[in-house]
Amino acid sequence: MAKADQLKGLTVLGKIQLPVDNSRRGPGGRGPRPVASSDVRKSGLGNTNQKKRQRLPVPGQPSGNAGGNTGTGQQGGGYQGNRPGGAGQQPGNRPGGPGGNNRPAPGGNNRPGQGNRAPQPALTPEQNDKQIQEQIKATLAKLSGGKNNAAANRAKYRRDKRGMAAEEREALRAQNELDAKTLKLTEFISANDLASLMDVNVNEVIRVCLGMGMFVSINQRLDAEAITVIADEFGYDVEFLSAEQEDDNIEINDAEEDLQPRAPIVTIMGHVDHGKTSLLDYIRSANVAKGEAGGITQHIGAYEVKTQSGSPITFLDTPGHEAFTAMRARGAKVTDIAIIVVAADDSVMPQTKEAINHAQAAGVPIIIALNKIDKPSANPEKIREELSQMNILVEEWGGKYQSQEVSAKSGLGVEELLEKVLLEAELLDLKANPDRNAVGTVIEAELDKGRGYVTTVLVQTGTLNVGDIVLAGPHYGRVKAMTDYRGKRKKLAGPATPVQVLGLTGAPQAGDRIQVMETEREARELATQRQQLAREQSIRTKKHITLDEIGRRLAIGSFKELNILVKGDVDGSVEALSDSLLKLSTPEVKVNILSKGVGAISESDVLLASASDAIIIGFQVRPSQSARRLAEQEQIDIRLYSIIYNAINEVKDAMEGMLAPTLHEVITANAEVRQVFNITKVGTIAGCMMTDGTLTRKTKVRVVRDGIVQYTGDIQDLKRFKDDVSEVRQGYECGISIKGFNDLQEGDNIEGFEEQEIKRKL
């Protein structure tokens, strides 16, 4: 190791020569050089066989063995205070110094002792170099990561870790304080529940409400505005939750090793009569359209099929009529791949564009199926051109969307279409965890007379078993039985499997999230809470008539209301029909949907219609015998439909009949006054020439002079010469007297007109 430069750390003040003891000299009169006792101890040069001298301690004085700042009498003086203290023992047979009489010298505190003793000599340069080398070694050991450095690093790591943990605890505490000041609740909770959430007495809440001019009771439900104001008075923020946001909390992030491949969910979308259901019929070798009224699909269906290669695919069939926009939107939400069916002998229709927009909004891959390719009038290139105008470029035209020419009747191109579906599914790498509680979406719900409420469910993740307790919207229940779309019973349903579930207490709305709950009590509490929220919302949002509304109706003059009760076989159809009827409302005729539900028309529906002067529209349902008799007694109009077009059109016609007709004026005749005759007791008679049209005795006339209407009234007498006639045609002369008007002059024009009532359209 290279020798470092000498450090001038110590200053040598002086040197002394200790007395020489001749008795210790060796042969030749030369004795060993005196050295410090500490150096002797360190170097091991002392005589270990010599008997050590006993020191008598003096009361009140420290012992010489303490070392450090004070020296003993035997040593003859104190060392510097910053050196390691000696043992206080003298080597050899050397007598004690002149400091005297075997007692410690009082000369501590970095100064020489009293008496005739001199201080010890300072370190030699060799000893100084030795200490410097030791310090350099220690420093290099720290820099090279020695044991001391590793221990220091571990200590520093522990300190940093404790500091980070403390910071995390502080941040978590601050976040908890912030969350504690934010109330997460649903609208229309009672004052008592609000007080419990804020951990205050309900009397305090009532006192604050009274101070703001609101008179509330303990169990009175508060709206959003009142809840926000009250919570702000107590220093809380409010975050309102809906049923959809509550559903978001059930999502669980599954581990990657738990995920397993699942079948793709494919939605077939498109316009009416473009062959969507026929294509699906060929794929699954069935005929769904045969059981539909009018040969069109009006229900959303879910079907599980297997291709020739054995790969399972789940299909969703959605109606194409514009009334089922919401149903198609729900289909696009739960799907993985969308097949847009376009008839090659038609064009891209509005519902086709709408289906494409739904699929793009849902962010799912689109495959274009050009159907009816075997027809002579098929022109697929025209369809591709129209799609390109919508920025939908197929692969044949250099785009990213796959397309396939198919024929749903002959099956041409269907296998190629399924291969493209499986290719898209392979790119998506669809996986789900079957080993967890099931979560799915309600596709449809209906009321079956023999089985009760039947809910069509598409399981998206997890496994649904018979006996599970499920919650769907405001309804819950235990799964009593499950069947597939063919009616075959199933005990469990894995991911991407559509099943019909029996056992719910009601018909949930299509599109509601369905989830498996741990206990029936938890499911019942959540369902009750959602029912209360929905009931409060329906009551609070019901508009009552106001002075402004009365003034508006009086200004219109002929305001009418059409109250309707809608009952249907499935929830999706009821929702679609209700939305379509509400869109028919005009400023003069308003449509009110008093009630809508699933199931047959009952007596309670008839009583409600009787009390509210409403009509009942049944879609694919019939009234019971008792309800039919009651409707005849109460003279309630029940209209039953199987096709949604007819229901909408007839309600539209009824509303048009409620509109006041428009009066339109038609000019039927013109007569020019050539001469005026004044006859006593008769009045003024105008001799006229018919210049245009035909004038009858019942025709209303107006007198026009110089382009200005002078009088409008009825004809009193109409004569040809001396004879009364019923009509006078163009080119004949006649005499006319007008009821209540005698100021006729030559040159006046008598104009005959009729008022025709024209039926108004919506």
Structural domain ending residue among the three candidates 241, 275, 291: 241
Regarding whether 499 and 480 lie in a shared domain, the answer is yes
pLDDT at residue 234 is higher than 90: no
In 116-237, alpha helices (H): 125-143, 147-180, 191-198, 202-211, 224-233
**pLDDT for position 107:** 43
- Is the pLDDT assigned to residue 346 strictly greater than 70? yes
Residue 72 has pLDDT above 50, yes or no: no
Nearest-angstrom CA–CA distance, 568 and 642: 10
What pLDDT is recorded for position 670?
A: 92
**Is residue 643 very low, low, confident or very high in pLDDT (cuts 50, 70, 90)?**
confident
Exposed/middle/buried for residue 231 (C-beta within 10 Å: 0-12, 13-18, 19+): buried
Least confident segment among 166-180, 291-305, 491-505, 612-626: 291-305
Asked if residue 128 belongs to a domain, the reply is: no
**In a shared domain, residues 697 and 750:** yes
Give 160's contacts (C-beta < 8 A, 6+ positions apart): none
Is there a single domain that holds both residue 372 and residue 507? Answer: no
Average pLDDT for residues 165-192, to the nearest whole number?
A: 75
| Per-residue model confidence (pLDDT) at position 20 | 61
DSSP strand E in 264-353: where? 265-270, 301-306, 312-317, 337-343
Residue 36's pLDDT is what?
46
Residue 124: what are its φ and ψ, rounded to 5°? -80, 160
Over its C-alpha atoms, the chain yields an Rg (Å, rounded) of 53
Shared domain check, 482 and 460: yes
Residues 685 and 583 occupy one common structural domain? no
Q: In this structure, what DSSP letter does residue 324 have?
A: G
Q: How confident is the model at residue 669 (pLDDT cuts 50, 70, 90)?
A: very high
Specify the number of domains making up the chain: 6
Residue-wise pLDDT tens digits, 43-54 = 444 444 445 555
More confident residue, 196 or 333: 196
Angle of helix 325-334 relative to helix 571-582, nearest 10 degrees, comes to 130
675 shares a domain with 649: no
Structural tokens at position 162 = 């404790």
* pTM for the structure as a whole: 0.55
Is residue 345 located within the same domain as residue 387? yes
Q: How far apart are CA 668 and CA 727, in angstroms?
A: 12
Identify the band that residue 688 occupies on the pLDDT scale cut at 50, 70 and 90.
very high
| Cα-based angle 609, 614, 616 (whole degrees, multiple of 5) | 75
Cα 668 versus chain centre, distance: 66
Final residue before a domain boundary, out of 375, 401, 429: 429
DSSP character for 452? E
Contacts of 467 (CB under 8 A, 6+ apart): 478, 479
Domain containing 458 — which CATH number? 2.40.30.10
Is residue 479 included in any domain, yes or no? yes
State the pLDDT confidence band at 70, using cuts at 50, 70 and 90.
Answer: very low
Of the listed ranges 28-32, 205-209, 459-463, 733-737, the least confidently predicted one is 28-32
Give the pLDDT mean for 589-617. 87
State the DSSP H helix or E strand holding residue 682, giving kind and residue range, or none if neither: none
The region of weakest confidence among 35-39, 187-191, 524-528 is 35-39
In this prediction, residue 674 has a pLDDT band, given cuts at 50, 70 and 90, of very high
Q: Do 631 and 558 reside in the same domain of the chain?
A: yes
Does 227 fall in a domain? yes
Torsion of CA 11, 16, 20, 25, to 10 degrees: 30
As a whole number of angstroms, the distance between CA 696 and CA 754 comes to 11
- Residue 19 scores a pLDDT above 90: no
pLDDT computed for residue 89 by the predictor? 41
The burial class, CB within 10 Å (0-12 / 13-18 / 19+), for 51 is exposed
Q: Is the pLDDT of residue 582 over 60?
A: yes
CA distance 762 to 580: 14
Mean pLDDT for the chain overall: 76
Q: Is residue 343 part of a domain?
A: yes
Residue 142 has pLDDT above 70, yes or no: no
The length of the chain, given as a count of residues: 762
Residue 244 has pLDDT above 80, yes or no: no
Contacts of 643 (CB under 8 A, 6+ apart): 293, 294, 296, 298
Whether residues 499 and 568 fall in one domain: no
Q: What pLDDT score does 393 carry?
A: 86
Confidence of residue 102 (pLDDT cuts 50, 70, 90): very low
Report whether pLDDT(39) > 70: no
Tokens representing residue 160 in the block: 């940093």
**What would the mean pLDDT of 333-356 be, rounded to a whole number?**
85
Is pLDDT above 70 for 478?
yes
Task: Name the band, by pLDDT with cuts 50, 70 and 90, for residue 488.
Answer: confident
Residue 710's Cβ-count burial label (10 Å; 0-12, 13-18, 19+) is middle
Q: Is residue 211 part of a domain?
A: yes
- pLDDT of 762: 58
Domain limits at 744?
662-758
56 pLDDT band, cuts 50/70/90, is low
On the question of pLDDT at 719 being above 70, the answer is yes
**Residue 25 confidence (pLDDT) above 70:** no
Q: At 291, which CATH number?
A: 3.40.50.300
- CA 115 vs. chain centroid, Å, equals 96
* Cβ–Cβ under 8 Å, residues 433 and 503: no
What does the pLDDT read at residue 509?
A: 80
Looking at the structure, tell me whether residues 276 and 407 fall in a common domain. yes
